Structure 1
Amino acid sequence: MRFDHVGVATRDAADLADLFDGLLDAPVAHEETFDGMGVVFLELDDGGYFELLEPDDGGAIADYLDREGPGIHHVALATDDLPAALDRARDSGVDLVDEAPRPGAWGHEVAFLHPRSTGGVLVEFVEH
C-alpha cells in the first residue's frame, strides 16, 4: 500500500484550496459533487493529494463538522486489490465500516476501516 490522500473536512473548500495552493503549490486536480458534499482534490508534488470535503446539504461531513469541527477527517491508502486488503484487515481483527468496496469520489472504489480499531484514525482504502 502507498499513501494516496488525506481527507480534510471544511466548511469552505474554495478558500482552503486557495490557501493550500499558495502555501504548498498544490493546484486543484479534480472537483466534483459526490454523496452530498463538494469534493476538491489538490495535487501534491509526490503524487499524493489533499481531499477537501465540504458539506452540500447535511450528510456525514456536515455531521462531522458539527461534532468535531474542521480538520483531518481520514487518511487514505491506495491498494491494487481492495477486496484482498479488506480480507487482510478483517483477518487482523479490524472492524470495517464497509464490508465490501463501494463507489467513491473520482470514480474510485473505496472502503473504510473503523477508527476504534485503528488507533482513532479513520482509514480509507482506495483502488484506482
Structure 2
Amino acid sequence: MAFTVSKIDHIGVACKDLEVSKKFYTDILGLECTGEEAVPSQGVKTVFIKCGPNLIELLVDITENNDGPIGKYIAKNGQGIQHVALLVDDLVAAIADVQAKGGVMIDKAPRGGAGGMDIAFVHPKSVGILLELCTPHKA
C-alpha cells in the first residue's frame, strides 16, 4: 500500500442549528470547541469539538436555499452522522490506491477542507458510509 491510515480523525455530524449542537457538546458534555470555520466552497460552516484524540465536526448548511451537501443530507436523512474521516499520510497516493483497487472516489484529486486539511471523499457505495480521507495541507 502506498499510504498509511493512522487514525479516525473526526466524525462529521450534520446539524440543523449549529449553536444548539455546539452548546450541547461544550456546556452539557464539557468538551472543548477548538475552532469554527466557514467553508463557502462546500456550502458549510463547521465547528470542531475535541473528544480525546479525535474530533467531532459539527456541520451546518450555509447556502441560501439550504441546497448544499449538508442541507440535502438533512432533508433526506435528518440530523446525524454524515461522514467519518480517516487521517492518511499521503492523500494523493490514497486516492490513486482506492481507485486502483476498485473503490469509487467522489474526489479524484485533493481539495481544501476545514481545519487546514486537504480532503477527498470516497463514495458511500464503496464502503456503506461517506468516508473522508484527509491530511494536513502542505503549504
Query: How does the TM-score come out when normalised to structure 1?
Result: 0.92
Is the 8 Å Cα contact of residues 26 and 45 (structure 1) preserved in structure 2?
A: no
Offset of residue 23 of structure 1: 4.6
Q: Aligned letter for 1:45?
A: G
Structure 2: how far apart are the matches of 1:51 and 1:23? 17
Is the 8 Å Cα contact of residues 25 and 44 (structure 1) preserved in structure 2?
A: no
Instruction: Give the corresponding residue for 1:10.
Output: 15
Q: Give the length in aligned residue pairs.
A: 126
Offset of residue 18 of structure 1: 1.4
Larger displacement relative to structure 2 (22-31 or 78-87): 22-31
Query: How does the TM-score come out when normalised to structure 2?
Result: 0.85
Runs of 4 or more consecutive aligned structure 1 residues displaced over 6 Å after TM superposition: none
Unaligned stretches of 5+ residues in structure 2: none
Q: Deviations over 1:48-76 (max 9, x none)?
A: 10000011122111111111110000000
Structure 1: how far apart are the matches of 2:106 and 2:87? 17
Structure 2: how far apart are the matches of 1:79 and 1:24? 29
Unaligned stretches of 5+ residues in structure 1: none
Q: Aligned letter for 1:67?
A: K
Q: What is the Cα-based RMSD across aligned positions, in Å?
A: 1.2
- Of the three residues 24, 37, 41, the one matched with 2:44 is 37
Offset of residue 38 of structure 1: 1.3
Q: Deviations over 1:33-57 (max 9, x none)?
A: 11322110001122x1000001112
Q: Aligned letter for 2:61?
A: P
Q: How does 1:39-78 map to 2 (within 5 A)?
A: 39-46=46-53, 48-57=54-63, 58=66, 59-78=68-87
Is the 8 Å Cα contact of residues 53 and 61 (structure 1) preserved in structure 2?
A: yes
The reply on whether 1:121 has 2:129 as its aligned counterpart is yes
Q: Secondary structure at the match of 2:84?
A: strand
Report % sequence identity: 37
Structure 2: how far apart are the matches of 1:38 and 1:3? 21
- Of the three residues 14, 20, 32, the one matched with 2:25 is 20
